[in-house]
Amino acid sequence: MENVTRTTCPYCGVGCGVLIEKHPDGSVRVKGDPDHPANSGRLCSKGTALADTIGLEDRLLYPQINGKRASWDEALDSIASRFRQIIAEDGPDAIAFYVSGQILTEDYYAANKLMKGAIGSANIDTNSRLCMASSVAGHKRAFGADTVPGCYEDLELADLIILTGTNLAWCHPVLYQRIVQARKGNPDLKVILIDPRRTMTADIADLHLPISPDGDIALFLGLLAEISKSDCYNGDYVEAYTCGMQDAVSEANALSWDEIQSQTGLSAQELRRFYDLFINSEKTVTVYSQGVNQSRVGSNKVNAIINCHLATGRIGRPGMGPFSVTGQPNAMGGREVGGLANMLACHMDIENEAHRQIVGDFWQSDALPTKPGLKAIDLFQAVADGKIKALWIMSTNPVVSMPDANAVRAAIQSCPLVIVSDVQAHTDTLDLAHIKLPAAAWGEKDGTVTNSERCISRQRAFLPAPGEARADWWHMAEVGRRMGLEAQFDWQNPADIFREYAALSAEHNNGTRDFDIGAWQDRDEEAYASMEPFQWPARAGDVPSHSNQRFFATGGFFTPDRKARAIAVTTDGVSQAQSTSPDHAFILNTGRVRDHWHTMTRTARSARLSAHLSEPYCEIHIDDAKRLEIGDNDLVWIENGLGRVTVRAMLSDRIQSGHLFVPMHWTDHYSANARIDQLVPSVKDPVSGQPASKSAHVRISRARIGSYGFAVLRDKPQALSLPYWTLARCKDGWRLEFALEEAPAVATPESIKAALAIDCTTEPLAFFDLGKHRCRMAWFDGDKLVASAFLASEPLTLSREFVSSQLGGIWSGIAQRAQVIAGVPGKETPDKGKIICACMNVGLHEIADAKSKGCCSVDAIGTATGAGTNCGSCKPEIAEILHDLAAE
């Protein structure tokens, strides 16, 4: 098709194929690729809104040194010479890279080669450490390699899908949709959700197990003990293809039923039902992600799950297997290419002498380190300790996303040389850089990514890179060349890198290593340009394809004896994770929301993605809130010894009493003080080094606030200095939630105008109702609305959607202008209410209205309102709304 580019979504690890249609007026239309094996044309709300995120606003366009524009030569020469100097004076381990699952495989390969092959240190780690390092560790311990045994098709072939520690409906929405579809074709398919929260994913669950945090090990130990006594124990498989099972089962049997109940928080009936379903369903897939991985015992959780699949031989066969799904678009590519501090390229091990020899010879490098480098938490600690003299951060925002984020910020501030490659001109991390390098963005760069089922797909450029932005691989190749390694970094394009990478994967492989894409080592640019999605392995001589390849149905593990290892997991360390101090009695869980991504550098550009959940919030059980006199929509302080954040209270019965949930997305660029990872301590799994991001101990209280405010602003305000504020895009401007220390009675139009940095010289239209402690005001420029602001002593109940929609209107007469400050629509204007369906812009009130007219199913609501008829990501929420309305 002319003017259509086939590329891959840059968000989650599902790795959906995307079609980009470019129109003559420069606009872009995004559709799901019907021929991509991951999504068959589906997209979620984030993928659907990709066109909203590709504008050039706030882009970093030129290199900068110490805040001043510099040429690429100046920036790159400066980096190369400082690196040489640091290596000479302090050694190679005084340099560190912190990279990202957002960069492409070719970028990752270049970064890894520059650090491990040229600089001579292994101090390169990635933000994927925060997301799936425990899965890597669990895979390597059990399989001898970081191999995902199954593929997405298993979700459609299974009779039982166990979703543990994963909110698939919001975080991997297209996989969720595939399961919904599979259930329609197979009514016997059962789904179990294991999660402390009753997330939207519970909508498809036949059984929800509201497990205690880190209770998974006890749960799966109990399962292994039950398996060992049942007919589903596959003695033939265990004997032929595994070792260590006897010890693993002994440890499982050592745990009493009472201990399992107490550690899981589940009843005997719930446990029995779960165990019986597993035992009686041969075709079982166990899907897991951050709820398993982000724990101080994450690796043991992974191995407890894998043990159950090994004991039953339910691995690598259609519809069966343990299945780690990754959070980021190229977390898998980063794992394959050696982006983790303890790996070499192509799934080779840094501590394996033979592997070091292969990589060293291939790279013609005698600098290869012999020991693993620093993993993320230790890396930033080394920065804080002054051991790292130069830190290069690429496409990630650790000041927001790392645990103990305030300490990470202080560490970066203390580092003598901080280089940041990014797309944006401002992020919480980029703002601290000495050298800023403009990177090409998603739509502007070429390369490959690997999704959760080992499928490698092309990302293709469909836009020119603006200003002097260049691909990340080019930044690193240029530094390598300027360090005197012209031959090693002599790539002209990403196809050159991919060929080299493919050749290394095949080097001395012969089936001894899982990762092999040797089929691509001598393919030309044209073949690379037209690459179809394919799964690895694709060994030399193979025709690369997506054929739902699986591993380990008949053994063939990547250990010296080719047998899997059942790890004798125990519950040691769990009780430490579960204990709470009286001062910090709440357990804080962090995670993602449906329509935002990571630190919002892309999704916050989209008005429709900002409409669903437009400010940082804390989900708290209604009983806890009542006891602490916290009302719905109050502002609350959440704090511990590491810091304090201010967010909105969201009362819920979906969360357990004693627990809180706060999203991890909001940064200092979008909210006054909501970087939740500042409260997460630097506690990590000792095997994987992955931080425990879901079990910080905190306290919560109602914030002491004089006034609650809401405003809509035509222009983005700069430098707000308020006790609380949160900015979100809306169609014609910005929505601002804010708070003041003073009461509404003290506020004046002048003080509000100054506080909100409103740039308007005309007199406002203002209304004060001091008896009710409320005031409203609006500023106009001709017949256009510049800003309106609302203030009350209690959380405001006005219609945000309605107020936001006023920004684009024409307001000429006083009567019309009075509508603006009413804050609620008149009878003739329907109020959508909170937006539920971002794609079709359908609000809560519209769904309730359709229900009152007899639409009692999600499909009927879709027919009446359009909600849920595009990507379907909102369908679980619509089902929940219908359920709640039916109960009223």
CB contact set of 80 (below 8 Å; sequence gap of 6+): 479, 482, 483
- Give min distance, CB of 25 to ligand SF4, in A: 25
Strands 124-126 and 95-99: what pairing? Answer: parallel
- Give min distance, CB of 152 to ligand SF4, in A: 11
- Give min distance, CB of 10 to ligand SF4, in A: 7
Place of tokens 């520690």: 165
- Give, for 157, the enclosing helix (H) or strand (E): helix 153-157
- Quote the CA–CA distance of 433 and 423 in Å, as a whole number: 14
Distances in whole angstroms, Cα of residue 340 to Cα of each of 109, 216, 433: 11, 26, 23
Question: Measured from the CB atom, is 174 or 844 closer to ligand SF4?
Answer: 174
- Give, for 589, the enclosing helix (H) or strand (E): strand 586-591
- Give min distance, CB of 230 to ligand SF4, in A: 36
Place of tokens 């990590």: 684
**CA triple 214-215-217, angle to 5 deg:** 90
CB contact set of 194 (below 8 Å; sequence gap of 6+): 162, 163, 164, 165, 209, 211, 216, 219
Distances in whole angstroms, Cα of residue 226 to Cα of each of 232, 262, 275, 512, 594: 9, 17, 7, 35, 36
- Give min distance, CB of 873 to ligand SF4, in A: 8
- Secondary structure letter of residue 295 according to DSSP: S
Question: Measured from the CB atom, is 5 or 640 closer to ligand SF4?
Answer: 5
- Give min distance, CB of 168 to ligand SF4, in A: 10
CB contact set of 245 (below 8 Å; sequence gap of 6+): 238, 307, 310, 311, 566
Task: Report the amino acid identity of residue 171.
Answer: C
Task: Report the amino acid identity of residue 439.
Answer: A
Name the residue among 659, 656, 515 with its Cα closest to residue 586.
659
**CA triple 540-541-546, angle to 5 deg:** 90
- Quote the CA–CA distance of 549 and 869 in Å, as a whole number: 32
Binding site for ligand SF4 (CB under 6 A): 9, 11-12, 14-16, 39, 43-44, 46-47, 172-174
**Are the beta carbons of 709 and 790 closer than 8 angstroms?**
yes
Distances in whole angstroms, Cα of residue 3 to Cα of each of 22, 42, 55, 462, 789: 5, 21, 19, 9, 44
CB contact set of 672 (below 8 Å; sequence gap of 6+): 646, 720, 722, 723, 724, 725, 726
Distances in whole angstroms, Cα of residue 328 to Cα of each of 13, 48, 127, 343, 695: 5, 17, 9, 19, 22
Preceding peptide of 537 cis, ω within 30° = yes
Question: Measured from the CB atom, is 13 or 149 closer to ligand SF4?
Answer: 13
Strands 586-591 and 659-663: what pairing? Answer: parallel
- Give min distance, CB of 32 to ligand SF4, in A: 7
Question: Measured from the CB atom, is 312 or 328 closer to ligand SF4?
Answer: 328
For the chain, how many residues are written? 888
Question: Measured from the CB atom, is 42 or 776 closer to ligand SF4?
Answer: 42
Q: How many CB atoms lie within 10 A of CB 65?
A: 17
Name the residue among 592, 614, 589 with its Cα closest to residue 167.
592
- Give min distance, CB of 850 to ligand SF4, in A: 26
**Are the beta carbons of 283 and 159 closer than 8 angstroms?**
yes
Closest residue by beta carbon to ligand SF4: 47
- Give min distance, CB of 290 to ligand SF4, in A: 14
- Give min distance, CB of 602 to ligand SF4, in A: 11
**Are the beta carbons of 563 and 555 closer than 8 angstroms?**
yes
* Strand partners for 776: 767, 790
Question: Measured from the CB atom, is 103 or 384 closer to ligand SF4?
Answer: 103
- Give min distance, CB of 15 to ligand SF4, in A: 6
- Secondary structure letter of residue 68 according to DSSP: E
- Give min distance, CB of 45 to ligand SF4, in A: 7
Question: Measured from the CB atom, is 46 or 817 closer to ligand SF4?
Answer: 46
Question: Measured from the CB atom, is 172 or 774 closer to ligand SF4?
Answer: 172
- Give, for 4, the enclosing helix (H) or strand (E): strand 4-8
- Give min distance, CB of 733 to ligand SF4, in A: 26
Question: Measured from the CB atom, is 11 or 275 closer to ligand SF4?
Answer: 11
- Give min distance, CB of 652 to ligand SF4, in A: 24
- Give min distance, CB of 292 to ligand SF4, in A: 19
Task: Report the amino acid identity of residue 99.
Answer: V
Name the residue among 569, 692, 575 with its Cα closest to residue 262.
575
- Give min distance, CB of 12 to ligand SF4, in A: 3
Question: Measured from the CB atom, is 12 or 308 closer to ligand SF4?
Answer: 12
- Give min distance, CB of 328 to ligand SF4, in A: 10
Q: How many CB atoms lie within 10 A of CB 541?
A: 7
- Give min distance, CB of 171 to ligand SF4, in A: 8
Q: b/e for 843-854, b at 16 or more Cβ within 10 A?
A: bbbbbbbbbeee
Q: b/e for 105-130, b at 16 or more Cβ within 10 A?
A: bbbbbbbbbbbbbbbbbbbbbbbbbb
